Structure 1
Amino acid sequence: MLRQVLSLALPAAAALMLAACGQEAAAPAAPRPALVVQPHAAAAVADSYPGEVRARLEPALAFRIGGKVSKRLVEEGQRVKADQPLAELDPQDVRLQLEASRAQLAAAQANLSLVRTERDRYLKLRDRQMVSHSQYDNAENLYRAGLARLKQAKAEYDVAGNQAQYAVLRAPQAGVIAQRQVEVGQVVAAGQTVFTLAADGEREVAIALPEQQFAGFAVGQPVSVELWSRPGERYPGRIRELSPSADPRSRTFAARIAFSSAKVPAELGQSARVFVAHEGVTALAVPLSAVTAQNGQAYVWRVNQDSRLERAVVRLGAYGSESVPVLEGLGPNDWVVAAGGHVLREGQEIRPVDRTNRLVNLTAKE
């Protein structure tokens, strides 16, 4: 009997122990601790845009007549002086036109001499009443026509002379050849750009502004510029020019930034960064480790009064070395998780602690 009782009791006891273990495993886990902080006031709020140092005047140079390029006298990046020859067209056609105009001018001069002599002769005969007035009027009209033909021939000769000079493209002012778009043997049309000249003088920074932020900029707005060759040094400037239309490829608006001082050590082609401050915006800042992004959208984990997490989408400013300004999405009394956001989930309950591992009262201001 004892053996039968034991054989029945042992399985029952084992079943009770397993049931107790299952109940203990199903018990809810305690909220995990999470370091939380409140946003603090950002020291400086400004958006930054990369740019390139350019010349304020960048004329596109082109021949005023069409033809075949016979000589290219400069290279890209070469410094040129005012009136320096840059390229030449094949002069054969313009020389022939000049010779034809010269011949027409000589013919017009000879014709004028002839009709002038005829008019003077008819004038004497009319005074002697040896010819009629109509015959003299005809001679006078021929003289006037010859005079007009001579003026026309002179104008055409001057045009042909100018075109002969237009076969040589010269620099309108001193500067640097920024772009070259022509090769020897190439046939170009009148007005087709062959060189871009970066004229000596003022230097500017060319930047591209995003479409969604373009409305917040205006001509004359103050900015600051930092050259990559001189990190940490910022030079005051202003927005001098804003493009009225977006680039069809990048969908950005071109802008030109002028330096307030002419003594800025900016050279052509240097990289720069333009900082545009937000006027009237009091931004908050959070640690870089508090920001997480998904599908290009930045967010932080905000802790509500029940110690549960909720995702707060934010708009950020320029990233700093340790923190980032939050322009929209957070209030000064909010609490956010300072680190480890990639392992958290919406609605998760946490135990908020500070940097000394003390429990944080979420209803009190920091």
Structure 2
Amino acid sequence: MQRVKYLYMALMVLILLSGCGNSNEEEKKELVKPIKYGVVESFGGLTTRTFNGITQSGSETKLSFRTGGLITRLNVGVGQRIKKNQLLAQLDQTDVLLALQQAQADVTNTKIQMETASSSFERVKQLYQTNNASLSDYEKAKSTLSSAQSSYEISLKRLDLQRSQVSYTTITAPMSGIVSSVHVGTNEVVSPGHIILTMSNEDASDIEAQAGVPEKYISQIKQGSPTKIRIPTLSNEFDGVITEVGYTSSGGTYPVITSLANTTDELRPGMPVEVTFTFGNENQQKQLIVPVKAVSEDESGQFVYALSPINNEVYEVKKKAIEIGRLTSEGFIVRSGLALDQIVAVAGLRTLYDGMKVSLLTQE
């Protein structure tokens, strides 16, 4: 009995020691704190920034029906080359063709009524001129002819309208090109204005690049400025010129469209691109700028917390003394202590220390 008691006590001691070991091991694990960061940038002179984008057709056209109905014919597929005026899609025409036949019959009937009224009017007119018909008979015949003429003109307009309704049930190619995308299939019911397909000009010289430029740089983008455009999938670089600068943002960036020079037949809409823009004034001296929120001060002077990458996700904090100059709208001018594109912390500086492990918060 005494032996069992000792074994039980030894087992409990082992469990406690094991728990303490795990606790110490957990304490040794260093927490990685996410923080906001900024980047040391250049100020003055000429600088470049590269933003991602995508190629697109400069004359992309979205096609849709002007009326709704059931799609009975869809004669195209993605990538198909089409010619101008080629029939691309058609809706069920049963109802509109019946209405067209009725409109044609109405025109025939009203035309006969108008011709009959005209003959009657001419006969009454001659009788009236020879005093063989009364004024009331003459006015009645005249009124009947006028009414028949109005009915005929209205039926002609209805016929034109019905012909237009028939034409609204078909889509023909407004130009020669290539089908970029098809959004529906046969036997689908679509509403007026619903996009059926998108087509692009097949000429490679019509290809342009659209890139998203952050708010910070959009004011420096000017129409007509040169750019450099790289297409990684083709390993080609093209000269470009800015043709359009977006006025409203989409997802935090402004769309900027650049035309491409010296294009090749390998270019296609939808290819990823890297568009490089040039900013600044070549007559100004080039200097480094650090964000205002990154700079702190102690008894030794100004300093920042630089972030050095350990791996793709974790960075090590290092306190760096710096010398700053005047304050600009972009931040403090750096006289010494930092390098271009160096990453620095811009929030929670009081909680940071040398050697601390942090991660970077995603910038909005």
TM range (shorter): 0.5 to 0.7
Counterparts of 1:68 and 1:105 in 2: how far apart (Å)? 29
2:79 is aligned, of 72, 77, 80, to 77
Query: Conserved in 2, the CA contact under 8 Å of 1:303 and 1:337?
Result: no
Pairwise CA distance, 1:304? 4.9
Equivalent residue runs for 1:145-156 within 5 Å: 145-156=147-158
Counterparts of 2:98 and 2:215 in 1: how far apart (Å)? 54
Q: What amino acid is aligned across from residue 71 of structure 1 in structure 2?
A: R
Query: Conserved in 2, the CA contact under 8 Å of 1:60 and 1:196?
Result: yes
Report the counterpart of residue 220 of structure 2 in structure 1.
216
Residue 125 of structure 1 aligns to a residue whose secondary structure is: helix
Instruction: Describe the shift of the 1:251–1:346 C-alpha distance in structure 2 as closer, same or farther (beyond 3 A).
Output: closer
Pairwise CA distance, 1:176? 1.8
Q: What amino acid is aligned across from residue 224 of structure 2 in structure 1?
A: G
Instruction: Describe the shift of the 1:67–1:220 C-alpha distance in structure 2 as closer, same or farther (beyond 3 A).
Output: same
Equivalent residue runs for 1:177-196 within 5 Å: 177-196=179-198
Query: Conserved in 1, the CA contact under 8 Å of 2:317 and 2:353?
Result: no
Report Cα offsets for 1:326-365 as digits up to 9, x if no partner. x96553x4134999x99xx9797xxxxxxxxxxxxxxxxx
Taking structure 1 as the reference length, what is the TM-score of the superposition?
0.66
Counterparts of 2:317 and 2:333 in 1: how far apart (Å)? 10
Counterparts of 1:335 and 1:260 in 2: how far apart (Å)? 42
Instruction: Describe the shift of the 1:179–1:40 C-alpha distance in structure 2 as closer, same or farther (beyond 3 A).
Output: closer
Residue 174 of structure 2 aligns to a residue whose secondary structure is: coil
Report the counterpart of residue 254 of structure 2 in structure 1.
253
Query: Conserved in 2, the CA contact under 8 Å of 1:302 and 1:337?
Result: no
Report the counterpart of residue 243 of structure 1 in structure 2.
246
Report the counterpart of residue 176 of structure 1 in structure 2.
178
Residue 123 of structure 2 aligns to a residue whose secondary structure is: helix
Report Cα offsets for 1:96-131 as digits up to 9, x if no partner. 111111111111111111111110111111111111
Query: Conserved in 2, the CA contact under 8 Å of 1:64 and 1:190?
Result: yes
Report the counterpart of residue 13 of structure 2 in structure 1.
none
1:303 is aligned, of 321, 346, 360, to 321
Pairwise CA distance, 1:236? 2.1
Pairwise CA distance, 1:68? 0.9
Pairwise CA distance, 1:255? 2.1
Instruction: Describe the shift of the 1:229–1:159 C-alpha distance in structure 2 as closer, same or farther (beyond 3 A).
Output: same
Q: What amino acid is aligned across from residue 321 of structure 2 in structure 1?
A: V
Report Cα offsets for 1:40-84 as digits up to 9, x if no partner. 999973111111111101121011222111122112232222112
Equivalent residue runs for 1:265-344 within 5 Å: 266-280=267-281, 282-283=285-286, 292=308, 302-304=320-322, 331=334, 333-336=335-338
Counterparts of 1:298 and 1:256 in 2: how far apart (Å)? 39
Report the counterpart of residue 157 of structure 1 in structure 2.
159
Residue 108 of structure 2 aligns to a residue whose secondary structure is: helix
Report the counterpart of residue 229 of structure 2 in structure 1.
225
Counterparts of 2:315 and 2:143 in 1: how far apart (Å)? 86
Gaps of 5+ in 2: 1-40, 290-305, 346-350, 355-364
Instruction: Describe the shift of the 1:204–1:296 C-alpha distance in structure 2 as closer, same or farther (beyond 3 A).
Output: farther
Q: What amino acid is aligned across from residue 251 of structure 1 in structure 2?
A: G
Overall identity of the aligned pairs, in %: 18
Query: Conserved in 1, the CA contact under 8 Å of 2:180 and 2:198?
Result: yes
Q: What amino acid is aligned across from residue 174 of structure 1 in structure 2?
A: S
Residue 242 of structure 2 aligns to a residue whose secondary structure is: strand
Q: What amino acid is aligned across from residue 74 of structure 1 in structure 2?
A: V
1:123 is aligned, of 125, 135, 148, to 125
Counterparts of 1:296 and 1:124 in 2: how far apart (Å)? 107
Instruction: Describe the shift of the 1:244–1:86 C-alpha distance in structure 2 as closer, same or farther (beyond 3 A).
Output: same
Query: Conserved in 2, the CA contact under 8 Å of 1:69 and 1:186?
Result: yes
Instruction: Describe the shift of the 1:227–1:42 C-alpha distance in structure 2 as closer, same or farther (beyond 3 A).
Output: farther
Q: Which has the higher strand share?
A: 2
Report Cα offsets for 1:240-265 as digits up to 9, x if no partner. 11232222xx2322221112456686
Aligned length: 281
Report Cα offsets for 1:191-218 as digits up to 9, x if no partner. 2211111123411011122233322223
